[in-house]
Amino acid sequence: MISDPNTTEIAIDTTVRIWGLFLGWLYTHEIRLDAPLWDKDQDDSKSMPDLLGLYMFACQFEVFELRRDAMNCFLYRFGGGWVMNESTLAGIENGLHHQDPLVAFAVAMVLNFMPGVSYDTWAKLGPRFSHTINVCNKARAEKAWSEKDFVVEDAGRARDLVLRDWCQWHGHRTKGDGTYEQPRLVEVCGEETDTLRSMWKAEKKGKWLSSENREV
């Protein structure tokens, strides 16, 4: 509970872990998980729930910049060859609105990079999500390609489409012709995203500081 005599009280329902990650981001504008984003051998059992929990927190309380930065973490890992596991998939689909960009990202993953999703995981997914996958798979079988829906012939092309414009995953509204309604806002978002990516690139060449060995 946040209480101040000059403000309205706000109850925040989250875990101590996610609150700590949020506070860390709030003061540094950096999302610090317990393993570097570029570590391909890391165990996702902790880092992905943390990242997903932070993303959901940002959605719930409309912290746009945090949601963008968390989405960028997913994109950065994906750009390095990572594909989400089934636990993360189920968490995304069951915890977010069906129009959320991360749900669309999950659709693209299942369509192009997760061919062997288990029956148990399918049973956890909502009917809307399953219907979308079935429609897209039918379109692919009929060679009715749609880059907008990530229904393409090969995974390489799908990867290019996912990563060609990171701002497409940041929730910006678009017009009927696919252009952004607020191009200047998107331009600034793109510049800040490029800065974040440059920072990650520099950190990858240096020493990663985890939450256990980083001075606060």
Which residues on adjacent β-strands are paired with residue 180? 174
Q: Is the pLDDT of residue 107 over 50?
A: yes
CB atoms within 10 A of CB 131: 10
List the helix and strand counts (H, then E) for the chain: 9, 0
The pLDDT tens digits for 30-51 are 898 877 777 766 667 778 889 9
Q: Tell me: the pLDDT tens digits for 151-209?
A: 999 999 999 999 999 999 999 999 988 889 999 999 999 999 999 999 888 888 875 55
pLDDT of amino acid 214: 45
Q: What is the mean pLDDT of residues 101-114?
A: 95
What are 95's two structure tokens?
């915890």
Burial profile 163-197: b = 16 or more Cβ within 10 angstroms, e = fewer: eeebbbbbbbeeeeeeebeeeeebeebeebbeebe
The pLDDT value recorded for residue 4 is 59
- Over residues 53-76, the pLDDT tens digits come to 999 999 999 999 999 999 999 999
Q: Rounded to two decimals, what is the model's pTM? A: 0.87
Whether 1 has a pLDDT exceeding 60, the answer reads no
Distance CA 121, CA 90 (A): 7
Domain locations along the chain: 16-205
